[in-house]
Structure 1
Amino acid sequence: MFQAVHRVAGAFERFKEGLKVLGVLDAIKMHPESVRPLMCHEPSTLTAGVMDHRFHILLSEVGSYRRRTEEVVVPFWRDYLQDVEDQEGPPELGTILAFATASAMANTCINCLKLPLLETYDDFKECMDFALGNTQGFGRQ
């Protein structure tokens, strides 16, 4: 009770007083639903498209052998995200996000996930499923 209510009560009252100065508090009270998206977090569904936009893909130099291999793997990554979204059961998209940001296989200083450079989607999928299914990362259960 202290942490959630009493400790922040003073700051909350100052916030409300600030909103009163320009009449914003009254407007909020009159139209609470129009202000809700600005003041309250609304959880959104994690989709393959959202996951794809969460990751910025860095490729090697144009013309290099490694770049050609990486360009083959990028569609594998996107197909894998879509497959995970479409299937029932583990792994889930949230598992991939947690893996990429909290696993020892990822660079946790910059949240970098290095994808396996494989020639076929089946090999890529098998490798990703194995990695996601066999890591707990930083003591997660």
Structure 2
Amino acid sequence: MCVKFSDDLGMDEEAVDLGGPRREFLRLLMEALALSPMFEGRDSKLSLALDSTALREDRYFIAGQAIAVSLVHGGPPPGFLAPTLYSSVVVGNSSIKPVLEDIADADLYEKVKKVSECSFLDDLLHTTEPLQDYLANAGCLRPLKCIEDRDLLVQDITMFQVVHRVAGAFERFKEGLKVLGVLDASLLFACLFYCVLEQEGPSKLGKILAFATGASVVPPVGFSPQPSIDFLHEHSSSPKQRLLMANTCINCLKLPLLDTYEAFRESMDFAIGNTQGFGRE
């Protein structure tokens, strides 16, 4: 894979892709997937959402392909996937038990949460009244005869909302993951892949890593060559030479030698905060 970035005028950057532009592209691709309408959730742990346009244009398949390509070609893992979604991929929908927190729809979550907290049958009947249409569409509408029916109802609602409702999208997503043998590998090494796919997302350290290498986390296949640090010994009054630099193709961070820590921190913050992408100084 060879990646070239261009500006708004269509002018390509001059650098040859030796790894940096590719990692940058794949990092941006994973970030775009997490923000797409195909995924929903809270606390950066996302499940599949149901989007008619994405279904019609087969984007769920493309999303699975994108993740597979990123994992194989040195990009970051999709650290935004919820554990329930990952379990669905490796063990199948019939064996998983989604939890209430997997429901991304805030309004539905609050209503189902109230149902789960009912202690008496009268409360349960009253609390489920606003959900009657939803329960009918979900196939969960049935007489509630005792308070013990509460737990099964909550389980059925959660299973429908998180799993059954998006079954078509999930199958296409799973098909996309078969690209380059990634799905087969995840089935053989489920525990290893779980650790890989649940890495934490970008932090301030991740931004520094992205500045130096193009990737905000260590790719599952590692870095080649290994990241290194050089020091800029030239002393100049030029503001440009007081800023850190990087060569993402060889994963090298180049740090200026400044008189104080405060000056160094300002240089770091300014450079990293104002160079999002290739072709900028």
Same fold (TM over 0.5): no
TM-score, structure 1 as length reference: 0.39
More strand by share: 2
More helix by share: 1
TM-score, structure 2 as length reference: 0.22
Higher relative contact order (CA 8 A, sep 6+): 2
